[in-house]
Structure 1
Amino acid sequence: MSLQFPRVAVVGKYQDSPSGAAVESTREVIADIADFLRVQGCDVALAERTAQTTGLDTYPTLAVPAIGNECDLAVVVGGDGTMLGIGRQLARYGTPLIGINQGRLGFITDIPLGEYQEFLPAMLHGAYEEDHRSLMHGTVLRDGQPVFEAFAMNDVVVNRGAVASMVELRVEVDGRFVANHRADGIIIATPTGSTAYALSAGGPLLHPLVPAWALVPIAPHTLSNRPIVLADPVEIAIEIVAGKDASASFDMQSVTSLHHGDRIVVRRSDFRVRFLHPKGWSYFDTLREKLHWNEGGV
């Protein structure tokens, strides 16, 4: 079988800039993976910020738009946060992503660091499972004008301030009033994000193939305000009715402060993130391993 991905970018530690011993560890890992890909016959480049962080100068470097335009594949080395950061940016280019887990949990960076040499050769030659994930686009409107926008692969979260009491949020779906929620905040989660913050707030697990969002209140004042699953073509609007120092975060990576009357409008993006997994990968295997299901059972 011929090589399916001749031009590969390696992305690692995309958001964090480690120092000291962590730099050495990251540099060694990135160099080893890049060298391994080269031996497989790939033309290898490093993401610009990855090269800057590690100090590696053995391979050419590319900014994110160049990766999207010129590379057939991105191999992402790190944790889920690293994957979220680069996944949002490469979605518009349709660049497939393979995740090698150098973090702790690894829901979406699912190849263990010590096993990449076992899995990558077959995947580079076309033996993989492809998994498309939806992306949200959120806009903050102030007096009807957009003042902030961002994409999210996991969730859009509206939170109360760190020292403030709960907030009151007006929720609309496709322009129709749903309810006013008095709570610590509210989460709009994709199926990918249903295993993140939304899960700890009592939200449901959504299979990645389900075209839906989960709307999950955070510590609601009224216990009958429960999570609800919505079809993802809808537009969700959240208005700040009361409360101080509220903020909106997108994948917990892009954050903006909110004023009374601000509206956060969330729609399904036209872009989707493409994950590639080893042949035989199963979403349920991931849930069972990461959530420790059946531990102690037969």
Structure 2
Amino acid sequence: MSNLKTKSAQRHFKKIALVGKYQADGFAHMLLNLANILKNLGCEVFLEAETAQNTTITQISSVAAKDFQSNIDLVIVLGGDGTMLGIARQIAGQDVPLIGINMGTLGYMTDIPLQDVELVLTEMLKGHYESDNRYLLEAEVYRNDQIIGTGSALNDVVVNRSGISGMLELTVRVNGQFMYNQRSDGLIVATPTGSTAYAMSAGGPILHPSVAGVVLAPIAPHALSNRPIVLPSDSLIEIELVGGKDVSVNFDMQSLTRLQVGDQIKIKQSQKTITLLHPIDHSDYRALRQKLHWNEHPSSF
């Protein structure tokens, strides 16, 4: 499924849930300020249940993430991309869009600076926004033909070893066809969203969010000819652990399953998606320039 960015089919948002990085200094004050801005714009405001439990705010009602679909029109995330990843995985498939507000440096998904919140949200709640659909990966972990773990990932599924164990060996198949045996520290399977995360640090390519592809990026491969590769997004990727100790598979670095030799991970595109909303002037290229410190000056020719 391609990631589609569009300015059409705008929706009206009245019931808004706030999710936040509650560990941050001054978070409660920032959250209350955001809630007041939204109330002044005529919105009914709720706190996501875990956010509510970890703040001293009692004057705002809470709603569990699993209940957003029937109670919430829009989710606003106050934090960073990690906070966005956590809630996005929980509400994927609920058809409730997300807006990201960053409290620190610009994020790829949390792209609205805190100081611009009132002006930007006022315009977005009037319908002036772009809609950006992102797909997830889903995985099943098998041992002796029995499922021992499952997970979903907006960024990546990563098979890797602990810091003190030796190299691991993997067999990789795509759509039932043998691709290679690989000796390395691990393997990253990343969505376009995740191509700017761990996969990029392992030397993988950056995929534009609209590209329907999946990145396979080896981590410190034994053979330098083991290069990252981009597969079609509808590929079924099967990874078997052939050798190695203290190996695990994790999903967006937020949940994991321990592996034994002979275990298999089957990874495919999930039917669930999330929708990110951006201001009209949002630019993926500007975000990359600012995050990666690319040359800011346009070419003179």
What TM-score do you get using the length of structure 1 for normalisation?
A: 0.94
Q: CA deviation at 1:161?
A: 1.9
Q: Is the 8 A contact 1:75 1:97 kept in 2?
A: yes
On the 8 A contact 1:80/1:103 being kept in 2, the answer is no
- Give the conservation status (yes or no) of the 8 Å contact 2:157–2:249: yes
| Large movers: runs of 4+ above 4 Å | 295-298
Corresponding residue of 1:269: 270
What SS does structure 1 have at the residue aligned with 2:245? coil
What letter corresponds to residue 269 of structure 2 in structure 1?
Answer: R
The answer to whether residue 116 in structure 2 is matched with residue 108 in structure 1 is no
Counterpart in 2 of 1:29? 30
| CA–CA separation in structure 1 for the residues paired with 2:68 and 2:246 | 38
Change (3 A) 1:3 1:264: closer
Query: Could you tell me which amino acid in structure 2 is paired with residue 138 of structure 1?
Result: A
CA deviation vs aligned residue, 1:210-236 (integer Å, no higher than 9, x gap) = 110000000000000000000010100
What is the one-letter code of the residue matched to 2:264? Answer: R
Does the Cα contact within 8 Å between 1:3 and 1:125 map onto a contact in 2? no
Alpha-carbon shift at residue 105 of structure 1 (Å):
4.9
Q: Which residue of 2 aligns with 1:204?
A: 205
Tell me what 1:134 maps to.
Answer: 135
Contact 2:76 / 2:100 at 8 angstroms: preserved in 1? yes
- For 1:39, the equivalent position in structure 2 comes to 40
Q: Which runs of 5+ in 2 are unaligned?
A: 1-9
Aligned-residue offset at 1:172:
0.5
2:90 maps to 1:82: no
Residue 157 of structure 1 is matched in structure 2 by 158
Once the 2 structures are TM-superposed, how far is the Cα of residue 68 of structure 1 from its aligned partner? 2.4
Establish whether residue 244 from structure 1 lines up as the match of residue 245 from structure 2: yes
Report the CA distance shift for 1:279/1:295 in structure 2 as closer, same or farther (over 3 A).
Answer: closer
Q: Deviations over 1:21-65 (max 9, x none)?
A: x45x01111111111111100011000111111121111100012
Alpha-carbon separation, structure 2, partners of 1:221 and 1:275: 38
2:125 is matched with 124
Distance, in Å, in 2 between the alignment partners of 1:67 and 1:32 is: 22
Give yes or no for contact 2:289–2:296 (8 Å, CA) kept in 1. no
> Aligned partner of 1:171: which letter?
V
Describe the SS at the equivalent of 1:92. coil
Residue deviations 1:2-21 (CA, integer Å, cap 9, x gap): 981011101112xxx62xxx
Shift, 1:263, TM fit = 0.6
2:18 aligns to what? 10
Report the equivalent of 2:56. Answer: 55
Q: Report matched runs for 1:211-222 at 5 Å.
A: 211-222=212-223
Deviation at 1:94, TM superposition (A): 1.1
Counterpart residue type for residue 286 of structure 1: A
Counterpart Cα distance in 1 of 2:95 and 2:268 = 19
Instruction: State how far apart, in whole Å, the 2-side matches of 1:155 and 1:3 are.
Output: 30
Distance in 2 (CA, whole Å) between partners of 1:244 and 1:103 is: 38
* Identity %, equivalent residues: 49
1:217-260 alpha-carbon deviations (Å, 9 max, x no partner) = 00000000000000010100110000001011101111121111
CA distance in 1, matches of 2:54, 2:225: 48
CA distance in 1, matches of 2:56, 2:65: 18
CA 1:63 to 1:244, structure 2 compared with 1: closer, same or farther past 3 Å?
same
Question: Deviation per CA, 1:156-195, whole angstroms, max 9, x where unpaired?
Answer: 0000122101100000101111000100000001000000
In the other structure, the counterpart of 2:291 is: 290
Between the aligned partners of 2:173 and 2:29, the Cα distance in structure 1 is 50
CA–CA distance in structure 2, aligned partners of residues 175 and 98 of structure 1:
38
In the superposition, the TM-score normalised over structure 2's length comes to 0.93
Shift of 1:103: 4.2
**Mapped pair 1:281 → 2:286:** no
The answer to whether residue 72 in structure 2 is matched with residue 71 in structure 1 is yes
Distance 1:89 1:234, change over 3 A: same
Amino acid at match of 2:118: Q
CA distance in structure 2 between the partners assigned to 1:278 and 1:44 by the alignment: 21
What one-letter code is carried by the residue in structure 1 that aligns with 2:38?
L
Q: Distance in 2 between matches of 1:11 and 1:55?
A: 14
Deviates more, 1:182-191 or 1:83-92: 83-92
Contact kept, 8 Å, 1:80 with 1:105, in 2: the verdict is no
What is the one-letter code of the residue matched to 2:20? Answer: G
